[in-house]
Amino acid sequence: MKHYNYLLATDIDNTLTGDPEALKELRNDLEALRKKGELFLVLSTGRRLNQVLDGFENEFIPRGDAIVSQVGTEIYLPPFSLSSRPNDEWNRKLNGQFSRGKALEFVEGIEGLELQPEEFNTPLKVSCYLDKAPDPEKAVEQIRRRIEDKGESCQVVWSSGRDLDIIPADAGKGKAIRFLINHLELSPKQVIVAGDSGNDRSMFDEFESGIIVGNAKPELKKLQEEHPGGKLFFAEKLYAAGVLEGLKHFGVL
Ligand code: GLC
Ligand code: MG
């Protein structure tokens, strides 16, 4: 088994993307560390696999050692291609606790709610837009309450004032990374996570060391109060420049 110093799990949209020049610099730095075998890089995203692969080609996204996609409902290991299959163990574990049909009942009749296009809705993820609801926050609370009342093993992930995902209780970016480090025999202390919005929350809840980029959404800014003893780093810089700032703070670069 390889000995890595760090595992960096970073979100893609508005964490890596947003400043292509800074991202090129970050990509060079990360690739140098990967070449030395010091860094295990995880791309941890709401995107579908094909959108991540597209990002490798067209958006300077660094190639990772693992991809956690669809808000932590799928995990991919190399070699990555359009025909890659998600990790079967993870898939089976989540499948056993989730019913898409039941998850859809929780969003039924919510005013203004729209289902996201079909390609973002999978057997393990019900995704909707709530920005047209009269009071999106209230609607989220209502959906959460419905789930609690039924005692269902699923969770709501709420991001950017627009995106609502219902995924299995044991899914999410944070738990998917925990699954990976168990397989890699890495300690949680070696993990650094980076993100900008609600679907990254589970990573900050699961691991101590985290980088919140300067452009983060309000739902992450309040993490400071919620994890007073943690090692969260609130970067001043935006997007990939914020990730670079954070990696210097943690002594990785
Ligand atoms: C990505 C996914 C979308 C999800 C959002 C927030 O944009 O495509 O389905 O709702 O992330 O998690
Ligand atoms: Mg993001």
Q: Measured between alpha carbons, how far is 49 from 52 in angstroms, rounded to an integer?
A: 5
Q: Measured between alpha carbons, how far is 115 from 127 in angstroms, rounded to an integer?
A: 6
- At residue 253, does pLDDT exceed 80? yes
Report the pLDDT value the prediction gives residue 7, as an integer from 0 to 100.
98
Which residue's CA is the closest to the ligand 1 atom numbered 1?
46
- At residue 188, does pLDDT exceed 70? yes
Cβ of residue 10 lying under 6 Å from some atom of ligand 1: no
Cβ of residue 198 lying under 6 Å from some atom of ligand 1: no
User: Sorting pLDDT into bands at 50, 70 and 90, what band is 227?
Assistant: confident
**Cα end-to-end span (Å), the chain:** 24
User: Sorting pLDDT into bands at 50, 70 and 90, what band is 1?
Assistant: low
Q: Which atom of ligand 1 is nearest the CA belonging to 165?
A: 10
* Residue 146: Cβ within 10 Å count: 16
247 closest CA partner among 54, 49, 53, 32: 32
Backbone φ, ψ for residue 93 (5° rounding): -60, -45
Cβ of residue 199 lying under 6 Å from some atom of ligand 1: yes
Residues in a beta bridge with 173:
none
CA 42 to chain centre: 10
Distance 114 CA to ligand 2 centre (A): 21
Q: Measured between alpha carbons, how far is 106 from 178 in angstroms, rounded to an integer?
A: 28
- At residue 214, does pLDDT exceed 80? yes
Q: Is there a cis peptide before residue 228, judged by omega within 30 degrees of 0?
A: no
Higher pLDDT, 120 or 230: 120
Residue-wise pLDDT for 42-63, tens only, equals 999 999 999 999 999 999 999 9
Q: Measured between alpha carbons, how far is 241 from 236 in angstroms, rounded to an integer?
A: 9
CA 146 to chain centre: 24
Cβ of residue 165 lying under 6 Å from some atom of ligand 1: yes
